[in-house]
């Protein structure tokens, strides 16, 4: 039996992972620590509430005292660290929160793990990172491997790169049993509708413009979120301490292809008088916009036997269905109304 601390478990990937882990490992204890920023929504984990093996703690990963208390109280032996500021555009307009959470927050967790886990070799700290730390590829370049140089271009990716370096240093210097995963773009249920795929789905249904940055030719490598969860599970269970594992879907698409795929799917599922393509609007590009990301997942495939299970077309259709069926969730997270839910549910509860 393991005792997990999942940071950022009320966010998109952390929430999917929490749900996945509790399904696959019902014997484990799971503690979710989340600050419930604009991106964290406890409603996404509502169905787990009655499960006694689960505990939610509303708190900040930068609060070292709280983190240490949790480690000791819960006898934590696995950390899966998702908590972050994750949106590139927000990092351009307001980088402070990214430096604080992504760098100082990771540092705080590492310091607590170092202090509490002294001499223990039955523990693991998995740091969830991104392919954006490797910078941008040209069309003809080979995909990123674990030895690609770090060349972050946005405040977001620079803050994630800094956190990756700290994680590495804690292995080399202190022997802390860390693992790092660098993953490509995720899509699927519960993604905050500021990211391309949910934003386009909801704008299309609401008759709003579908904003495509620049010429729409930038390329991302898409992975269904549950495949990211199985990748993290494989690394947490069988990865080698101190190693880095790239995780990716091998599904490279230009942004305009993504938007057109979504429009075609929506035209079929929710036909309107005009094709949703009519709503596509090319807009000013993102400053420092990375041209292409692509992941070489050869290491995790060869060493840990991981492979993505979901093909892109099925995954996109499932995702559209999820957003169609969860319009309430979308309205509440966009309006901030979900915070009332937290107040009602948790204001009487202590940490
Ligand atoms: P998200 O923005 O949906 O969720 C982030 C969660 O972290 C939220 O619940 C938020 O409340 C919480 N959080 C933020 N600051 C906190 C703090 N100081 N203390 C405690 N909790 C805090 O993010 P996501 O898309 O689920 O990404 C999760 C992780 O995966 C991030 O580390 C991100 O860098 C990484 N990642 C994301 C993608 C992607 O495509 N979304 C791809 C690769 C890696
Ligand atoms: O590669 C992994 C990264 O993927 C993660 O580390 C980040 O946390 C995650 O947000 C994501 O970053 P991107 O910047 O690639 O994702 P986003 O959904 O913001 O944008 C995807 C692409 O679509 C990107 O090239 C910018 C473009 N875009 C985005 C938005 C929101 C548009 O053209 N229009 C838009 O409105």
Work out the pLDDT band at 299, boundaries 50, 70, 90.
very high
Rounded mean pLDDT, 237-257: 97
Rounded mean pLDDT, 123-136: 98
DSSP string over 70-99: HHHHHT--EEEE--S---HHHHHH--HHHI
Work out the pLDDT band at 334, boundaries 50, 70, 90.
confident
End-to-end CA distance of the chain: 23
DSSP string over 261-321: HHHHHHHHHS--SS-GGGGEEEEPPPTT---B--B--HHHHHHH-------HHHHHHHHHH
Cβ(199) – ligand 2 distance below 6 Å = yes
Lowest-confidence segment of 208-217, 314-323, 327-336, 340-349 by average pLDDT: 340-349
Nearest protein Cα to ligand 1, atom 37: 130
Closest-lying ligand 2 atom to the alpha carbon of residue 87: 10
Instruction: Report yes or no: 220 and 290 within 8 Å, Cβ to Cβ.
Output: no
Residue 219 Cα to ligand 2 middle (Å): 10
Q: Delimit the domains of the chain by residue range.
A: 3-346
Work out the pLDDT band at 7, boundaries 50, 70, 90.
very high
Nearest protein Cα to ligand 1, atom 35: 129
Whether residue 211 has pLDDT greater than 50 = yes
Rounded mean pLDDT, 70-93: 97
Please state the pTM of the whole predicted model.
Answer: 0.97
**What pLDDT was estimated at residue 317?**
98
Give tens-digit pLDDT for 174-185: 999 999 999 999
- C-alpha 133/C-alpha 135 separation (Å) is 6
Is 131 tagged catalytic?
yes
Ligand positioned closest to the Cα atom of 8: 1
Residue 206: enclosing H or E segment and its boundaries?
none
- C-alpha 9/C-alpha 35 separation (Å) is 10
**What pLDDT was estimated at residue 338?**
60
- CATH 3.40.50.720, applies to 3-346: yes
Rounded mean pLDDT, 307-316: 97
Is 74 tagged catalytic?
no
Is 156 tagged catalytic?
yes
Work out the pLDDT band at 341, boundaries 50, 70, 90.
low
Ligand positioned closest to the Cα atom of 88: 2
Cβ(293) – ligand 2 distance below 6 Å = yes
Residue 2 Cα to ligand 2 middle (Å): 34
Laid out side by side, the sheet with 178-183 consists of 54-58, 29-34, 3-7, 78-81, 124-130, 178-183, 244-247
Residue 267 Cα to ligand 1 middle (Å): 31
Whether residue 143 has pLDDT greater than 50 = yes
Catalytic residue among 77, 85, 104, 156: 156
Closest-lying ligand 2 atom to the alpha carbon of residue 160: 6
**What pLDDT was estimated at residue 339?**
63
Lowest-confidence segment of 39-43, 136-140, 167-171, 255-259 by average pLDDT: 39-43
Cβ(161) – ligand 1 distance below 6 Å = no
Instruction: Kindly give the interhelix angle for 338-346 and 327-335, rounded to the nearest 10 degrees.
Output: 90
User: What percentage of the chain carries pLDDT values higher than 90?
Assistant: 90
Rounded mean pLDDT, 50-66: 95
Whether residue 236 has pLDDT greater than 90 = yes
Instruction: Report yes or no: 192 and 84 within 8 Å, Cβ to Cβ.
Output: no
């Amino acid at each position: 039996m393991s005792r997990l601390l999942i940071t950022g478990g009320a966010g998109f990937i952390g929430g999917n992972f929490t749900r996945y882990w509790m399904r696959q490992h019902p014997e484990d204890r799971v503690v979710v620590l989340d600050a419930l920023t604009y991106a964290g929504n406890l409603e996404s984990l509502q169905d787990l509430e009655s499960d006694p093996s689960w505990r939610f703690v509303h708190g900040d990963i930068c609060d070292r005292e709280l983190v240490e208390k949790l480690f000791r109280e819960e006898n934590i032996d696995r950390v899966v660290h998702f908590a972050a500021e994750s949106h590139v555009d927000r990092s351009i307009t307001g980088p402070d929160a990214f430096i604080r959470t992504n760098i100082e927050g990771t540092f705080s967790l590492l310091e607590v793990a170092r202090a509490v886990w002294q001499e223990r070799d039955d523990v693991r700290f998995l740091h969830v990172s991104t392919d954006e730390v490797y910078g941008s590829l040209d069309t003809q370049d080979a995909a990123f491997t674990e030895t690609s140089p770090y060349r972050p271009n946005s405040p977001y990716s620079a803050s994630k790169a800094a956190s990756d370096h700290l994680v590495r240093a804690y292995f080399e210097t202190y022997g802390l049993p860390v693992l790092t995963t660098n993953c490509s773009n995720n899509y699927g249920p519960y993604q905050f509708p500021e990211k391309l795929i949910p934003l386009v789905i909801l704008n299309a249904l609401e008759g709003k413009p579908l904003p495509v940055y620049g010429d729409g030719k930038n390329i991302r490598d898409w992975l269904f979120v549950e495949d990211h969860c199985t990748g993290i599970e494989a690394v947490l269970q069988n990865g080698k301490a101190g190693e880095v594992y790239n995780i990716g879907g091998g599904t490279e698409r230009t942004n305009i292809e993504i938007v057109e795929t979504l429009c075609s799917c929506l035209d079929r599922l929710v036909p309107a008088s005009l094709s949703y393509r009519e709503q596509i609007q090319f807009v000013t590009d993102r400053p420092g916009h990375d041209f292409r990301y692509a992941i070489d997942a050869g290491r995790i495939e060869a060493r840990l036997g991981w492979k993505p299970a979901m093909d892109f077309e099925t995954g996109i259709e499932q995702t559209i269905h999820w957003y169609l069926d969860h319009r309430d969730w979308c309205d509440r997270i966009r309006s901030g109304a979900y915070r009332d839910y937290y107040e009602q549910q948790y204001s009487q509860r202590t940490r």
